[in-house]
Structure 1
Amino acid sequence: MADWILVPLAYFLGSLSTAVVVSRVLGLPDPRRAGSRNPGATNVLRLGGKKAAAITLLGDALKGLIPVLLAKALQAEPLVVGAVGLAAFLGHLFPVFFGFRGGKGVATALGVMGGFGWPVGLGVLSTWLAVAVVSRLSSLAALVTAVMAPAYVWWWLRSETLTATTALMAALLVWRHRPNIARLLRGEESRIGQKA
């Protein structure tokens, strides 16, 4: 039962908004109030360039990866591992330290799934990159990857618990992209690297 303490710890780690912290340190506009107003790597790319975006992306992914790897190192059961990953993801979406106004969770979900299993992480990363390179639309890449992710988890890990956790994260990720979906349908979505 002691490993369940990792769940709230994962939530608190997930609640640390990398985009906001990086923007403050580098003297950039608050990503919650500028650009797309989403505290994530894509908006930081628009506001501050590649270096700031890369740091944000890495930080957000590590928020998901580290707690899951720690749970696995402690040989926690799959239910705990899934709960830890979900808690980190929810921390990013609804951060207690930033008024529960967080990002969309793409990089953190990638980190969580990479923690579930490296083939899954490689699969989702490859899917995101392929769609992003072809379309230059970060949101479309995220949506396609979210739809594919539960199948990847089931195919490589054969875990009902982790597949269900991934499906829930994917559903939340799609839900958070509602405005992006509307803009995609209207042909108005911003391209990767497009200035705010």
Structure 2
Amino acid sequence: MDTTGHVISMLIFGYVLGSIPFAKLFTMRAGVDLFEIGTGNPGAANVFRKVDKRIGAAVFLADGLKGAIPVLFAWAMGAPQDLWFIAGWAAVTGHWYPVFNKFRGGAGLASGAGVVVALMPLAGLVGLILGMLVIAKLKSSGHGALTGLIVIVVAAALINAEWPLGAEWSAMASAVALALILFARAAARGWKPGRKD
């Protein structure tokens, strides 16, 4: 498949997968409207705190996978490495503006984490684990996300290995840029490092 075909396939697959509203699907039985409770965000953190911790964990995993799978799909298709992040961006965009949920989506932090881990596994996993430990300790997803972002940037600078052990600089730059944009977007929506709800 030529480059154009790769890009179109990745955009479509990533966006459609990213559009699946797992938070809404997993909470349907509870009769909860995520837009009306907690932060009003249809994402894992809101489900975890306001609905059920087990369901919240499942949503986080599902949203993370819908960010990671398109990147791995692009890799499996043999797409050039500098195009892998396009699939991830498409998935996050689908989460932000899901066609299956009237274009009302979440902040995309879990999906973005999945993209970062797929692009740069070691640095991404280290940042994700430490970020989650901070969330468990401080009960603040903002502090956890900020910690994870800092750790990812530092770890990525220290790890300069080929896939799947690390990331080349192009993948690192894409992953870090995505993390920064996710953080800025979340902050713009009123989600701040010290916020606990």
Name the TM tier (shorter chain).
Answer: 0.7 to 0.9
Aligned equivalent of 2:27: 23
172, 175, 184: which is aligned to 1:175? 184
Change (3 A) 1:190 1:144: same
Give CA deviations for 1:53-94 in whole Å, capped at 9, x if unaligned.
122111101101111111111221122201111111121122
Aligned equivalent of 2:168: 159
Contact 1:85–1:112 (CA<8 Å) still a contact in 2?
A: yes
Contact 1:92–1:105 (CA<8 Å) still a contact in 2?
A: yes
100, 103, 116: which is aligned to 1:113? 116
Aligned equivalent of 2:141: 138
Contact 2:127–2:147 (CA<8 Å) still a contact in 1?
A: no
Contact 1:67–1:85 (CA<8 Å) still a contact in 2?
A: yes
**Residue 19 of structure 1: CA displacement?**
0.6
Q: TM-score, normalised by structure 1?
A: 0.84
Q: Which runs of 5+ in 2 are unaligned?
A: 160-165
**Across the two proteins, how many residue pairs are aligned to each other?**
185
Q: Which runs of 5+ in 1 are unaligned?
A: 192-196
Q: TM-score, normalised by structure 2?
A: 0.83
Give CA deviations for 1:160-193 in whole Å, capped at 9, x if unaligned.
3222222321222122222122x72xxxx226xx
Q: RMSD of the alignment, in Å?
A: 2.0
Give CA deviations for 1:10-59 in whole Å, capped at 9, x if unaligned.
011111111111111x2231212222101111110123212211221111
User: 1:143 and 1:160 mapped to 2: Cα distance?
Assistant: 21
User: 1:129 and 1:45 mapped to 2: Cα distance?
Assistant: 13
**Residue 158 of structure 1: CA displacement?**
4.8
Contact 1:45–1:53 (CA<8 Å) still a contact in 2?
A: yes
Could you list the runs of 4 or more consecutive aligned residues of structure 1 that deviate by over 6 angstroms after TM superposition? Answer: none
Give CA deviations for 1:79-126 in whole Å, capped at 9, x if unaligned.
220111111112112223223321111211121122113213321222
User: 1:177 and 1:151 mapped to 2: Cα distance?
Assistant: 22
- SS of the counterpart of 1:100? coil
Aligned equivalent of 1:190: 196
Aligned equivalent of 1:128: 131
State percent identity of aligned pairs: 30
- SS of the counterpart of 1:180? coil
